[in-house]
Amino acid sequence: MNISTTVRFVCFTILLLATQFLAAAQSSFNNAEADAIQTFLRENFGNTNAGMVIGLVDERGSRVLAAGKLDNGTSQEVNGDTVFEIGSVTKTFTTLFLQDMVERDEVKLDDPVAKYLPESVKVPARNGKQITLFNLATHTAGLPRDPSNLTPTRGLPENAFADYTVEELYAFLSSFALDREPGSKFEYSNVGMALLGHILALKTGTNYEALVVERICRPLKMNSTRITLTPELRARLARGHDQLGRPAPNWEFQVYDGAGGLRSTANDLLKYVSANLGLMPSSLTRLMEQTHLIRNKHTSDHGDTAMAWYGCYPVGKEACLPKPLDGFCSEAFGCAQKSRSACQPAPTWLVSEWRLISIARRVRSKSRK
């Protein structure tokens, strides 16, 4: 297999590949294949200011492959402890601690959203059907990708959510009219997932970051996964750049934290993926399995979808790539093959080569501008 396609990335990229061995026919990720990926990284990032980190995990343990620089004008190289913005991978954390709160009997999946918001907020409904927490977690609420009153000013367009407030979110909900009943159709919604994270934080009387740290990061010992960075974490933060090579600001999400606000490292996300696949003992694994159950089949743009995990297709077909943040691209997946009721991991190499080439193609056009 040839993965030596030459490209130049202008963004920092982190890619998590995960595999679990469900049949004897599936082979583990061998040293020759890992060496081929490292060669790919050296050829494409060894003499550039860009960087890429790849984490691999299987039943034998995990490893990190990396090449490139942390920022322009520095000799500091990216590695497994480099901090990246992980974008929509955050959504899987949001649905996980929703499941955790259900387990603790703090909320119910079929609770209406209106139950947890101020009475002044008029949550849209259709034909008597209300939007539930489950609808938000499965992108079936009928809400759009982003709200109509998202009109960023500070940092437009690179930092689109930085000044979007709770009050604006409530105003959007109160004015929005559903064109179908909640639960009737999948439609990917950042604002829906942001609303879910906001509601769960309200219910627990804390903020989104504190909830993630308490319920997920501490149990998994993910000490470098945060929204607010300490000076030590900020010193390890990869600096993203736009297609013209200019520094891109780190995104701030505020009320949108639940949709994309987390920063993390390859080493931390390897722990997260390992727990999701049952490769690492964790009290969270059983809850994670509930978030993997397929909730929507054959959606037009995301394949079969679970709770924030999506793009589950038979091996060899394209799995949807999340849209990167400006200057950043993040992926985390252990779902690449379809079963009857849940996402199941595919053999790593079939996923890894396709992902590397696909990401390369996606950013290559920008790097040539």
Mean pLDDT value of segment 152-179: 84
DSSP for residue 43: H
Q: What average pLDDT does this structure show over 265-272?
A: 92
Q: Which of 79-88, 202-211, 242-251 has the highest mean pLDDT?
A: 202-211
Q: Write out the two tokens for 272.
A: 């997260």
261 falls in which pLDDT band (50, 70, 90)?
Answer: very high
Domain coordinates in residue numbering, the chain: 12-86+236-367, 92-208
State the pLDDT confidence band at 322, using cuts at 50, 70 and 90. very low
Residue 311 has pLDDT above 80, yes or no: no
Closest CA to 332 of 139, 159, 87: 87
Phi, psi of 47 (to 5 degrees): -120, 35
User: pTM score, two decimals?
Assistant: 0.83
What is the CATH code of the structural domain delimited by 92-208?
3.40.710.10
| pLDDT, position 47 | 77
What is the C-alpha to C-alpha distance for residues 176 and 169, in angstroms, rounded to an integer?
Answer: 11
Q: Among the residues of 176-250, which ranges form H helices? A: 190-204, 208-212, 218-220, 231-234
Strand partners of residue 16: 55, 332
For the stretch 32-86, pLDDT in tens is 778 888 888 888 787 777 788 888 887 888 889 998 888 877 888 999 999 998 8
Residue 325, Cα to own-chain centre: how many angstroms? 11
Phi, then psi, of 148 in degrees rounded to 5 = -70, -20
Query: 154: pLDDT confidence band, cut at 50, 70 and 90?
Result: low
Highest mean predicted confidence (pLDDT) among 160-174, 210-224, 285-299, 318-332: 210-224
Q: Which two tokens stand for residue 103?
A: 């387990």
pLDDT tens, position by position, 21-31: 333 333 456 77
Q: How confident is the model at residue 344 (pLDDT cuts 50, 70, 90)?
A: very low
Burial code (b: 16+ CB inside 10 Å, e: under 16) for 290-320 equals bbbebbbeebeebbbbbbbbbbbbeeeeebe
What confidence score (pLDDT) does residue 103 get? Answer: 97
For the chain, how big is the Rg over CA atoms in Å? 20
- Residue indicated by tokens 């929509």: 88
pLDDT for position 351: 35
pLDDT digit string, tens, across residues 212-232: 999 999 999 999 999 999 999
Q: Measured between alpha carbons, how far apart are the two ends of the chain, in Å?
A: 30
Please compute the mean of the pLDDT values over residues 335-339 and round it to a whole number. 36
